């Protein structure tokens, strides 16, 4: 099952399959048409042939489906000292969250709870994409060990994990809002807005898990 952020419900495996098949058909029909525009998901980076309301590949809201001219290719020069410091913090937050979700994913897998494993994997993949983007702006390898950050300790129960993950996403969204207000580069401001929107959707996901 995939979480549909746009409508706060689940899509069945059959529905996901139909959406993905439709995209393949549409893209094949448009081969050779130079005027045809593909849209790309800012989360999973899959291309789709129409501006859908929910990504058929990862379940992200349609607000993250963008045309190629808006798909971020960060090439920012002349970062200020505070912008660079904020990006280093951003890198650390995304890496800590990614590792946290990986541990939770492994825990759910060991317990045979594959639904929860899917939710955690969803979060891990998104944090991984964000980490890659932050690394690209900084000009560093995403796997670098030269940037210090505070790891998140995994609680013993999933209910505690939900609460801790939601708090981490809330803290990240608050920091990205501050960093966005301090940023001067237009692309950097857009980058932080994408992160803020993503964290809000992650918060909604954990609100959903906590209430169910």
pLDDT in tens, 124-169: 888 887 888 888 888 888 888 899 999 999 999 999 999 999 999 9
Tell me whether residue 25 is in a domain. yes
Q: What is the model's pLDDT at position 64?
A: 67
Residues 6+ apart with CB under 8 A from 67: 37, 38, 39, 40
Tell me whether residue 156 is in a domain. yes
Provide φ and ψ at 66, rounded to 5°: -130, 155
Q: Assess contact for 58 and 41: CB atoms under 8 A.
A: yes
189 and 150, same domain (yes or no): yes
18 and 42, same domain (yes or no): yes
CA 6 to chain centre: 14
Distance CA 84, CA 149 (A): 15
Domain count, the chain: 2
Q: Give me the CATH number covering residue 143.
A: 1.20.1260.10
137 and 60, same domain (yes or no): no
202 and 156, same domain (yes or no): yes
Q: Which domain holds residue 40?
A: 2-70
Instruction: List beta partners, residue 2.
Output: 11
pLDDT band of residue 2 (cuts 50, 70, 90) is: very low
Distance CA 195, CA 90 (A): 10
Q: Which of 32, 48, 70 is where one domain is finished?
A: 70
Q: What is the model's pLDDT at position 50?
A: 63
pLDDT band of residue 75 (cuts 50, 70, 90) is: low
Tell me if the pTM is above 0.85.
no
């Amino acid at each position: 099952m995939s979480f549909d952020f746009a409508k706060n419900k689940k899509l069945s495996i059959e529905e996901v399959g139909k959406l993905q098949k439709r995209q393949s058909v549409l893209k094949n029909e448009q081969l050779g048409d130079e005027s045809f525009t593909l849209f790309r998901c800012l989360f999973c980076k899959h291309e789709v042939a129409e501006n859908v309301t929910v990504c058929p590949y990862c379940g992200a809201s349609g607000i993250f489906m963008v045309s190629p001219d808006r798909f971020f290719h960060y090439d920012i020069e002349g970062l200020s000292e505070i912008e660079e410091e904020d990006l280093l913090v951003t890198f650390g937050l995304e890496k800590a969250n990614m590792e946290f979700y990986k541990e939770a994913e492994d825990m759910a897998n060991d317990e045979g709870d594959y639904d929860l494993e899917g939710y955690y994997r969803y979060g891990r993949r998104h944090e991984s994409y964000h980490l890659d983007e932050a690394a690209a702006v900084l000009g560093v390898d995403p796997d670098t060990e030269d940037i210090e950050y505070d790891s998140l300790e995994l609680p013993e129960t999933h209910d505690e994990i939900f609460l801790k993950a939601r708090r981490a996403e809330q803290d990240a969204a608050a920091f990205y809002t501050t960093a966005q207000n301090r940023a001067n580069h237009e692309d950097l401001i857009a980058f932080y807005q994408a992160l803020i929107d993503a964290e809000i959707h992650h918060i909604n996901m954990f609100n959903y898990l906590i209430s169910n």
